[in-house]
Amino acid sequence: MLTSYLYTSICLLGLQTATAQYTTDPTAATIREIEHLYLDAANAGFFSAVTPCTNYVNPQGTGPNNNLGRQTAAEWVRTAFHDFVTANIYTESGGLDASIGFETTRDENVGVAFNDALTFFSYFINNRVSMSDLIALGVVTAVGNCGGPHIPMRGNRIDATVAGPSGVPRPETDLQTTLVDFSNAGFNEDDTIALTACGHTMGGVHGNTFPQAVGTSAESSTNADGRVPFDETVGVFDITVVDDYVHWTGDKGGPLVTTPNKTVQSDLRLYTADRNATMNRISQGGAAYFASQCSSLFQRMIETVPGTKLTTPVDPTATTNLKPYNVYLAVDWKGNMVLSGAFRYVQVAGAAAAPSTLTITLIDRAGKTTTTTATAKISSADTGTAIWGPTHSYTFTLSFPATVGVSGLSVSGQTFAFQDTMFVNAGLSHVSPAPMQFSTTTAMNTVTAFSVNTTVAYLYTGTAPTSLTATYAIPMPQTGTVSPAMDTSTTATLALVGKTGPYAIYSASTKKSLSAKQAYGTSVDVAVAGQSAGVVFFKPFNAGA
Ligand code: HEM
């Protein structure tokens, strides 16, 4: 049994816990992970870094530091821009692929933003959510949490393993070259101007990295890096930067417009490239128009992944935001099954109020709706306000004979598919010792020798296979970037250890020395030899069983 300490810590934290065996579709696992990071209210991990929006988290482990004149939300948006803009849609190369991690020593990538962002994101990487997905999620979260528009969030990006081409425009870059760089990434002149205005509504230019643009006179004890903001509302995603520029008020469009050093007036060169037509149009369109333009341009930016098929979007503004999470299936030696977990309901604007209870009905293995139900009460734990509204949690437990099995749950008129043909048996699997409580601090780098027992139930007809193969995906440090790479070289052979009801039970214990950071990012797939995996993306260190 997994220790109760781990289970308790997971429940309290409500983070890093999205795991289970719903279907064997890896894409569904990616969506589930993104939903968890993006939508869960108690997810102190991901969006707390940009809460409040002016916050700066030093991901080297020293926590918030708001005296540097730095802003995590702005760094996340800038990181995505620098990663994406070297894309070439004609040669189908580059794009949002986390290659920025290998490129931080280039002159065109001056500043700590990129390693700040990637180091923070590296606590969340796993086999279903890549670093490039996390960079995209960083934009979506930062913009959404700072008052900006909803941006559809898809997953499945593939991380680069080497540096990509150069070609990020610098403030010194001439207009023609800048427009060619953006054009190769699929953005015309109008798009380029609007995207830059959308990017330059948060954060600013730092004197310690761009003294040629802003000097160092802004440096102070509360602004150690000497930031000069783009507009007066540095921590809000809004149209102010555009209106300031068009009406020549406030910060007049920011330092890359107003700097006396003509060579680095890159925003002024861009905004006047079409005689201010784009900036005037946005200003006249007003706040809602700015938001919708930015949403679609940011979506195009984070979906510039030539040759990659992305998942369907996670859409928090959909009103059917009832989703299962942390669902575990167990079968004991007497042939009794237990399905336990939770449903999450995000009460987005316009959605019905959260019900006080949910009735959860079992659909058996044959697809027939049964009379086995559970009443899940709204829980005060794991409840709070996420970016898109109050988030509520309902925990449930359903018990039934293994001969009945499960293929889905019916809740509030919706059906959620599960599979019970092969699953990590939550009741019999365990990890020892429990990893330290999850946090995004360097304490998580301490290495522990873990013993991981993976016990799998397999529904067999005829002769049960003699063994199963487990393949573990573990985030490993890689040379040249702070972004880990997923390593799948650790495997284990699960031996047949017994039978219960219609199931054969297989088990193996694997010893592995891992940091807690690696442990939380570890998942396992299990397959019958020669077949595709029947268990996909089970996170052994997060299992509450
Ligand atoms: C020709 C195009 C662009 C140039 C030359 C440019 C240049 C710069 C420079 C020099 C800074 C100051 C960085 C620092 O001091 O830390 C900056 C900040 C920033 N840029 Fe751009 N940029 C361009 C386009 C964009 C675009 C398209 C986006 C987003 C889609 C973007 C997002 C940001 C953000 C969010 C910041 C603030 C970073 C912070 O406060 O840490 N930029 N940009």
Q: Catalogue all structural domains in the chain, each as residue range(s) with its CATH number.
A: 1-25+316-545 (no CATH), 47-123+157-302 (1.10.420.10)
Distance CA 4, CA 545 (A): 8
Give 86 Cα–ligand 1 centroid separation in angstroms.
15
What atom in ligand 1 is closest to the CA of residue 201? 35
How far is ligand 1, taken at its centre, from the CA of residue 51, in Å? 21
For the Cβ of 82 lying below 6 angstroms from any atom of ligand 1, the answer is no
What pLDDT, on the 0 to 100 scale, is given for residue 41?
63
Average pLDDT, integer, range 125-147: 97
pLDDT, mean of residues 90-112 = 96
Bridge partners (DSSP) of residue 59 are none
**Would the CB of 324 count as within 6 Å of ligand 1?**
no
Q: Rounded to the nearest whole angstrom, what is the distance from the C-alpha of residue 78 to the centroid of ligand 1?
A: 6
Mean pLDDT to the nearest integer, 281-290: 98
Q: Using most ligand atoms within 8 A of CB, pick from 79, 196, 302 the residue to mutate for ligand 1.
A: 196
The pLDDT, as a whole number, for residue 61 is 62
Q: What atom of ligand 1 comes closest to residue 301's alpha carbon?
A: 30
pLDDT at residue 11 above 60? no
Ligand 1 mean position, distance from CA 200 (Å): 6
CA-based nearest residue to 171, from 122, 93, 124, 228 = 228
Among 70, 71, 200, 223, the mutation site with the greatest number of ligand 1 atoms within 8 A of its Cβ is 200
C-alpha 100, offset from chain centre: 17
Per-residue DSSP letter, 42: T
Whether residue 78 has its Cβ less than 6 Å from ligand 1? yes
Among residues 528, 522, 493, which one has the least CA distance to residue 422?
528
Residue nearest to atom 31 of ligand 1 (CA): 199
Q: Residues 19-46: what's their mean pLDDT? A: 78
Assess whether the C-beta atom of 195 lies below 6 angstroms from ligand 1: yes
- Copy the structure tokens of residue 537: 């993306």
Q: Of 167-176, 235-244, 375-384, 390-399, where does mean pLDDT reach its minimum?
A: 375-384
Burial class (CB in 10 A: 0-12, 13-18, 19+), 356: exposed
What residue owns the CA closest to ligand 1's atom 10? 171
Residue among 244, 243, 204, 194 nearest 226 (CA): 204
Taking CA atoms only, the protein residue closest to ligand 1 atom 7 is 171
Distances (CA, A) of 309 to 155, 157, 283, 508: 9, 8, 35, 35
Percent of the chain with pLDDT over 70: 93
pLDDT-wise least confident of 218-227, 456-465, 536-545: 536-545
Q: Is the pLDDT of residue 44 over 70?
A: no
Which tokens in the block code for residue 32? 């589930």
* Ligand 1 near 297 CB (within 6 A): no
pTM: 0.94
**Mean pLDDT, rounded, of the chain:** 91
CA distances from 450 to 8, 66, 447, 519 (A): 19, 37, 9, 9
